[in-house]
Amino acid sequence: MELYDVLIIGGGPIGLACALEAKKNNLKYIVIEKGTVVNSLYNYPLYMTFFSTADRLEIDDIPFITTKPKPGRQDALEYYQGIARAKDINIKTYEKVINIRKSAFFQVETSKQNYFAKNVIVATGFYDLPNLMNIPGEDLPKVKHYYTEPYPYAFQNVVVVGSSNSAVDAALEIYRKGGNVTMIIRHTEISKSVKYWVKPDIENRIKEGTIKAFFGAGLLEVKTHSVIFKTNHGEIKEIENDFVLAMTGYLPDFDFLRNIGIQLNNDCQNPLYNPETMETNVEGIYLAGVVCGGRDTHLWFIENSRIHAKKIIKDIILKN
């Protein structure tokens, strides 16, 4: 039996930061990632630009070099995957963690084999489970919860649900490739969190009518060739439609967290952990990164959760 000091679930930026910190402190570690390295970033829209500057996305004080004022998806992939290669991170990709059992040590069952570890870090993020609308027709093939690029939607009638960065980026890109875009937005305005250099663009397109927007509205049903929604005045409308992009956000895997014994609190499903050490109510299981926020997925980002790696590894060393 090979016993690791720490097993890290998730090979995203924060999972890599935990691996680097473990390696620096001579801990025997392994990272288990169900996709490729920084899989969530790989699945971001192709032309996505980060809100943050490169220095705020750095891990382990490794410089993030780019000529752009703000890095894009490809810059980030090059940076983080480059670190994994250069630092020879011990990572197993395309291997999904199925269950964790605790006896003398943690037994971690994956889709390929079992591992044994003294400690486990859950750094799984929240990009894998869409926040479903739970309306009729959401399971139709025309409904997408992820957006990659605008070209498939050229000359199509596209409904974009939401007003976050992902929704606004999709609406603008599709409009500029010839798509007929209608936004269904449950709030009364475009989200204040939208990137400051993009917000005026979408507001001006809506004002001039080239992108249609219904504020205070809600999608009620998706049909094969149309959608039905309710306006802020309570009026029921039906419009022709080819695709629906439901940019309604994503959630951590709460079932997985519950199954391994982590306590989830209130409607936001906030996991219980010690903010000083990041250890959960299950001794030896730690949380790192955006998974710490439960449904409050806006609380944690790469730039403010990088510190989790140092906190966790420090606590593990002190316990040993």
If asked whether residues 277 and 192 sit together in one domain, one would say no
- CATH value at residue 182: 3.50.50.60
162 with 124, same domain: the answer is no
Residues 115 and 203 in one domain: no
Beta carbons of 163 and 185 less than 8 angstroms apart: yes
Is 136 in the same domain as 180?
yes
Report, as an integer, the average pLDDT of 141-161. 97
Same domain, 159 and 229: yes
Domain count, the chain: 2
Q: Are residues 68 and 124 in the same domain?
A: yes
Last residue of a domain, one of 198, 222, 246: 246
For 266-285, how does the pLDDT look when each residue is reduced to its tens digit (9 = 90+)?
989 999 999 999 999 999 99
pLDDT in tens, 283-293: 999 999 999 99
pLDDT classification of 199: cutoffs 50, 70, 90: very high
Q: Is the pLDDT of residue 229 over 90?
A: yes
Q: Do 97 and 140 sit in the same domain of this protein?
A: no
What distance in Å separates the CA atoms of residue 58 and residue 307, rounded to the nearest whole number? 11
Residue 16: name the closest of 36, 34, 42, 37 by CA.
37
Q: Residue 128 in contact with residue 12, Cβ under 8 Å?
A: no
Q: Is residue 225 located within the same domain as residue 311?
A: no
150 and 218 both lie in a single domain: yes
User: 105-127: per-residue pLDDT in tens?
Assistant: 999 999 999 999 999 999 998 88
Interval 161-191: pLDDT, tens: 999 999 999 999 999 999 999 999 999 999 9
Q: 3-state class of 32 per DSSP? A: strand
Q: Indicate if 99 and 186 belong to the same structural domain.
A: no
* Range of the structural domain that residue 169 is part of: 132-246
Q: Where does a domain end: 246, 270, 298?
A: 246
Is the same domain home to 44 and 189? no
Mean of the pLDDT values across residues 65-88?
95
